[in-house]
Chains A and B, each alone.
Chain A
Amino acid sequence: KNEVEQSPQNLTAQEGEFITINCSYSVGISALHWLQQHPGGGIVSLFMLSSGKKKHGRLIATINIQEKHSSLHITASHPRDSAVYICAVRTPGDLYSGGGADGLTFGKGTHLIIQP
């Protein structure tokens, strides 16, 4: 089963700071998702990557397949960015490996607070 580790678990920063959240996983994947979850809310998909880098507004996601590592960056952070950011991976394999070929295996999330 793929082990997904995120760091840091908690991060508090000031408005305007550059934020980096890291994700590493133990087994080769077919795709990695970065997700955002607000308190008491559902999950919003930010990015899905299998290689390289993607950018959307102030958010940038990168992935290094060889090193089994991904980062999510937020530029010019704002209090409305405060949320839990979750890394989730899709691992090729059979349906009986727990979060295998079709479901996602999730990290525990990074709780981000941006203070004004």
Chain B
Amino acid sequence: DAMVIQNPRYQVTQFGKPVTLSCSQTLNHNVMYWYQQKSSQAPKLLFHYYDKDFNNEADTPDNFQSRRPNTSFCFLDIRSPGLGDAAMYLCATSRVRGAGGPGNEQFFGPGTRLTVL
């Protein structure tokens, strides 16, 4: 089945130790998103890629970076994780971006829960 896959499902890192989260998709969608969801809060968009075009949200900390080497894969790099970065990280895809329409529906991965010690 076509899907959005996130690895690992659970990641533990140490304070200040760089960590990379992975997302892959078999949907061949043009747009890939990364969201951060802290405990009991709504998900918050960090950035998205439209093809290779990177779009950062204005309030995303510099500590968070992303790479998209090809259509299928997108990585979230946290350069120096702090305790406040412990959260669920959700990857999502959509076929197109922009105004509403069938191609805008977002498909979510299962998430990676990051723990910072």
Inter-chain contact A106/B48, CB cutoff 8 Å: no
Interface string of A83-97 (1 = CB under 8 A from B): 000101010100110
A13 CB within 8 Å of chain B: no
* Chain A to chain B: the 7 pairs with minimum beta-carbon distance, closest first: A31-B100, A103-B45, A30-B100, A42-B110, A106-B42, A43-B108, A102-B97
Interface size band for B: 20 to 34
Interface string of A30-55 (1 = CB under 8 A from B): 11010100001111110010100000
Among A40, A48, A108, point to the contact of B104 (Cβ < 8 A).
A48
Measured CB to CB, the closest approach of chain A to B112, in angstroms, equals: 9
A98 CB within 8 Å of chain B: yes
Q: Which A residues are CB-close (under 8 A) to B33?
A: 102-103
Measured CB to CB, the closest approach of chain A to B44, in angstroms, equals: 8
Most A CB contacts (10 A, CB to CB) among B6, B43, B109, B110 go to: B43
Question: What is the chain B residue whose CB lies nearest that of A6?
Answer: B42
Q: Which A residues are CB-close (under 8 A) to B58?
A: 96, 98
Question: What is the chain A residue whose CB lies nearest that of B55?
Answer: A95
